[in-house]
């Protein structure tokens, strides 16, 4: 018995990194998975990997800033697999500039993907989840949505996700739709390395600040998402799950 047997999940940003790991794990745990990204070749490879392992998955092109793409994504889940039970708003970007260095274009880009994308995914998933009798929304925020580490636009966008999660949880509790956020610390992905003048020095600074002494893995985050997506967390909504090796506990 898989922990997501009988569930249908939709995951954004699923072509690589955390999203790909989540898609593969959810499929192994019995979910039928629709996942989207802008990286179509990588996404189709993840789909092939899931199917080769005996799972059920469908890759779609998904620009999370597009209303039409979200409508299509939700429609694919419902039309192909009959319903929608789980949404993981995973897609995200980071641009590492100070406040004064951040242009309006950079600010708008980060907010569009990281915040507006979560809003749109939630907006279009809710009617399908209500029709299914309830569901679980898992929003990938960051410890940067709680503390001042990261970059101004990124922090602001992830802080918005944190509070929007709570609003969603309260507003749709009577629909039996739960909504929770995950707040990863430094995770060993391509995003972590991007935008640093000296990636090695940045890495050493991070490691020295993590009590557990290592970077997180995509599996660390995916298993948190699995718990929140499953019925095991049926009394958990509006909550923040911090997965950071103790980083912000100090």
Active site members: 154
CA 61, CA 210: separation in Å to the nearest integer?
36
Rounded to the nearest 10 degrees, what angle do helices 17-28 and 40-52 cross at? 20
Reduced to 3 states, what is the DSSP secondary structure of residue 187? Answer: strand
| Concatenated DSSP letters of 26-84 | HHHTT-EEEEEES-HHHHHHHHHHHHHTT-EEEEEE--TT-HHHHHHHHHHHHHHHS--
CA 90 from chain center: how many Å?
A: 2
**Nearest C-alpha neighbor of 184 from the set 235, 145, 134:** 145
């Amino acid at each position: 018995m898989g922990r997501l047997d009988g569930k249908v999940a939709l995951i954004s940003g699923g072509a690589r990194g955390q999203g790909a790991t989540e898609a593969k794990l959810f499929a192994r745990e019995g979910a039928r998975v629709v996942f989207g990204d802008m990286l179509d070749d990588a996404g189709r490879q993840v789909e092939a990997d899931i199917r080769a392992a005996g799972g059920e998955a469908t890759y779609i092109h998904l620009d999370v800033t597009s209303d039409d793409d979200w409508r299509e994504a939700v429609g694919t889940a419902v039309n192909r697999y009959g319903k929608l039970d789980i949404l993981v708003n995973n897609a995200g970007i980071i641009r590492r500039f100070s406040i004064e260095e951040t242009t309006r274009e950079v600010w708008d880009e980060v907010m569009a993907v990281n915040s507006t994308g979560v809003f749109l995914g939630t907006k279009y998933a809710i009617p399908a989840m209500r029709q299914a009798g309830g569901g679980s929304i898992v929003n990938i925020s960051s410890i940067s949505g709680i503390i001042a580490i990261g970059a101004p636009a990124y922090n602001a966008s992830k802080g918005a996700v944190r509070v929007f999660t709570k609003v969603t949880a309260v507003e749709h509790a009577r629909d039996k739709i739960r909504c929770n956020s995950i707040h990863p610390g430094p995770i060993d992905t391509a995003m972590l390395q991007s935008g640093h003048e000296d990636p090695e020095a940045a890495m050493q600074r991070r490691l020295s600040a993590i009590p557990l002494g290592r970077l997180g893995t995509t599996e660390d985050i995916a298993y948190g998402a699995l718990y929140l997506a499953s019925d095991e967390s049926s009394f958990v909504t509006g909550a923040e799950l911090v997965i950071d090796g103790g980083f912000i506990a100090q």
